[in-house]
Structure 1
Amino acid sequence: MMRHVVQFSGGIGSWVAAQRVAAEHGTDRLTLLFADTLVEDDDLYRFNRDATAQLGVDLTVVCDGRTPFEVFADVRFLGNARIAPCSYWLKQKPCRDWLTAHADPRTTIVYVGIDSSERHRIPGIQRGWAPWRVRFPMAEPPFLTQEQMLQAARALGVRPPRLYEQGYRHNNCGGSCVRAGQRQWLHHLRTHPDRFLRAEHEENRLRAELGDVAILKRRRHGVTRPLPLAELRRRAQAA
């Protein structure tokens, strides 16, 4: 009998993916696998509790034990939109270790909640999870917008994570995702200035050790340079 393992991130896409897997295969052999980065928004954990209760499936939690900035310090590399070591150490590796210990690739399918707009990522994800088979329920019809996914949760009595209501596109790392661009970090400064300042402090600590590096980049006159969060904040406040 097949085991079905959903990479359950706390985002709305992985929630809808879990709903589709449960509708197709039931919940007896369904695992919701969540990798905790230890910097998530408090409401993500509330959402996970409500969502798993609605499905009637316990949440399986894995955790490296470090935060993203602790990983950056350990590997001596500050994550950015292009390369984010935190994704590997805090999400991919703990989940893969769990799969190695508990899930036979011959009788297990892994599900990832990316949607049809991210089809270009599918080959890389499939290679990364080999030898486990990977499916992408949200990249298959019927295709849903994010708002339709949020409405689907509300219709089942599950309140969506508050970061979506606050204008974020993703519910990860409490909004302090190093893969985000300047627009989200400016929004983060307005919405959660305490978290922005915490990230700024951690970035400054790494800059003192690693040199002129930054999460963000700026491009002027054809030249790309690091854009520290402190400078982004000063520019925003001056404006």
Structure 2
Amino acid sequence: MVQFSGGIGSWAAAQRVAAEYGTDRLTLLFADTHVEDEDLYRFNRDAADQLGVDLTVVSDGRTPFEVFRDVRFLGNARIAPCSYWLKQKPCRDWLTTHADPQTAIVYIGIDWSETHRIPGIRRGWSPWQVRFPMAEPPFLTKDQMLDAARALGIEPPRLYAEGYRHNNCGGSCVRAGQRQWLHQLRTHPDRFLHAEHEENRLRAELGDVAILKQRRSGVTRPLPLAELRRRAQAA
């Protein structure tokens, strides 16, 4: 089973798995957060069609901000409950129902630059065996993966061409830093303003919390999206 996120890393991992083992028993498992860029869904369909494998879709049914309201915690770069509820748990529930830990293998698309994440991911997927095809030779850059997709006639997800490093949550990932949120403000202001609105609603309920933080004079405090936007517009 390839955890097929819609990112170029999971696409490249699926290509390597298919090349080595074939596609007869290959599952492309996609967890839908319901806030993805529209072109992610097109890319997933094209990728699945090229491999000749049906895309298996799981969903909690909520969006990230709906999760934050339910758990009464606003996700940030350190702790993002949306990852657990919208991606990890639906995929694990599917595995529990459909895959034997003695025979099934989970493939994750992180590459050689993210190997520090491997121990935690392995613990999180236990008792299933986990492998990381893109963390093994031949090592590829993200640009090389994007070129490989084009060579097969698959246009990569548009967020990469728009300057995003990852193709997840339509660019509004709470794990992203100020740089990406400023890029989101320039590129997809409607999405930024939606996230700002949802953050403000949670701040009204939970107090002085924010997705982002800032550090000044040795003091760290929340940096609301509304404040980040006002500074950018003033500049």
TM-score w.r.t. structure 2 length? 1.00
- How far does the alpha carbon of each residue in 1:75-133 deviate from its partner, in whole angstroms, 9 at most, with x for none? 00000000000000000000000000000000100000001111111000001000000
- Is 2:190 aligned against 1:194? yes
Separation in 2, partners of 1:211, 1:154: 47
Query: 1:180 matched to which residue of 2?
Result: 176
Kindly provide the amino acid, as one letter, of the partner of residue 125 in structure 1. Answer: I
Query: 1:8 matched to which residue of 2?
Result: 4
- For residues 44-59 of structure 1, the aligned pairs below 5 Å read 44-59=40-55
- Is 2:164 aligned against 1:168? yes
Task: Give structure 2 stretches of 5+ with no counterpart.
Answer: none
- Is 2:89 aligned against 1:93? yes
SS in 2 for 1:30: coil
Separation in 2, partners of 1:53, 1:191: 30
Task: Give structure 1 stretches of 5+ with no counterpart.
Answer: none
SS in 2 for 1:17: helix
Structure 1 stretches (4+) deviating beyond 2 angstroms? Answer: none
Kindly provide the amino acid, as one letter, of the partner of residue 199 in structure 2. Answer: E
- For residues 69-218 of structure 1, the aligned pairs below 5 Å read 69-218=65-214
Separation in 1, partners of 2:189, 2:120: 35
SS in 2 for 1:159: coil
Query: 1:234 matched to which residue of 2?
Result: 230
* Displacement after TM superposition at 1:215 (Å): 0.1
Kindly provide the amino acid, as one letter, of the partner of residue 114 in structure 2. Answer: E
Identity value in percent? 88
Separation in 1, partners of 2:196, 2:140: 35
- How far does the alpha carbon of each residue in 1:138-173 deviate from its partner, in whole angstroms, 9 at most, with x for none? 000111111000000000000000000000000000
- How far does the alpha carbon of each residue in 1:36-79 deviate from its partner, in whole angstroms, 9 at most, with x for none? 00000000000001000000000000000000000000000000
- Is 2:32 aligned against 1:36? yes
Q: May I ask how many residue pairs the two structures share in their alignment?
A: 235
* Displacement after TM superposition at 1:181 (Å): 0.1
Separation in 1, partners of 2:12, 2:19: 11
SS in 1 for 2:102: helix
Query: 2:221 matched to which residue of 1?
Result: 225
Kindly provide the amino acid, as one letter, of the partner of residue 219 in structure 1. Answer: R
Separation in 2, partners of 1:193, 1:38: 18
* Displacement after TM superposition at 1:33 (Å): 0.2
Query: 2:64 matched to which residue of 1?
Result: 68
* Displacement after TM superposition at 1:194 (Å): 0.2
Query: 1:25 matched to which residue of 2?
Result: 21
SS in 1 for 2:27: strand
Separation in 2, partners of 1:143, 1:225: 39
What CA RMSD, in Å, does the superposition of the two structures yield over aligned residues? 0.3
Separation in 2, partners of 1:42, 1:127: 32
Separation in 2, partners of 1:121, 1:237: 36
